[in-house]
Amino acid sequence: MYEITPPGVVMGLAWTAMGGSTLFIETRIRKPSTGKKSEGTLEFTGHLGDVMKESIHIAMTVARNFLNQEDPSNSFLIDSHLHLHVPEGATPKDGPSAGITIAIAFISLAKNQPIRQNVAMTGELSLMGRVLPVGGIKEKTIAAKRVGVNCVILPEENKKDYNDLPKYITDGLEVHFASTFEDVYRICFTPQKKTSTVHHQKSLDLDISPPQTAPLLSKNID
């Protein structure tokens, strides 16, 4: 869908009944600011369920607080009228596992800076900025590899799930495990040093993509 992701667009990973899938979180300014001192607004579309809507509100709160610490002069997320969309609008989507993806998309838009390219991520986000574990790690990892992603960000608490995957799935992937939103931010916006976990073996064709009509349903760990 994107050869190069612009500011405000981030690739996430989803779990479906048919397997893993990638999805994009898109954010843009909905209408120009009036210049008056009033709080901005947020609209979201994409056939989203209640849990995902809650996750969007949490992500906005985390992003606002984080940006206030990183760059107090940047009030973009407070003043602006924003629109968040998850493409394939006819497909229902729900669950909390896009939390870190949504928050990073907000930060990217506020900074007017694209994140590091060819990165996909999954992780629930708590109100205090903790990255919580999610389900479907195997399926999501396969989905990332299937579309050519070479770097994935996963919750620290899912490290064992990832390490249990067979080599033919993890081969060629650079993986980062995050426990806080700050961890995710540093990975996305800091030039990458060659210190991450990378597996080197001949890649296999894992063409097990679900039909395009399959629901993109994120899933958290029970």
Catalytic residues: 97, 140
Give strand pairing partners of 119. Answer: 151
Q: H/E element holding 66?
A: helix 50-70
- Backbone φ and ψ for 70, nearest 5 degrees, come out as -75, -40
Phi-psi sector, 19: left (phi>0), alpha (psi -120 to 50), beta: left
- DSSP assignment of 13-25 equals EEEETTEEEEEEE
Encoded tokens for 138: 């195997």
CA separation (Å) from 75 to 63, 71, 81? 11, 9, 12
CA separation (Å) from 211 to 19, 23, 91? 10, 14, 12
Burial track 119-142 (b if 16+ CB lie within 10 A, e otherwise): bbbbbbbeeebbbbbbbbbbbbbb
Q: Which of 55, 123, 88 minimizes the C-alpha distance to 216?
A: 88
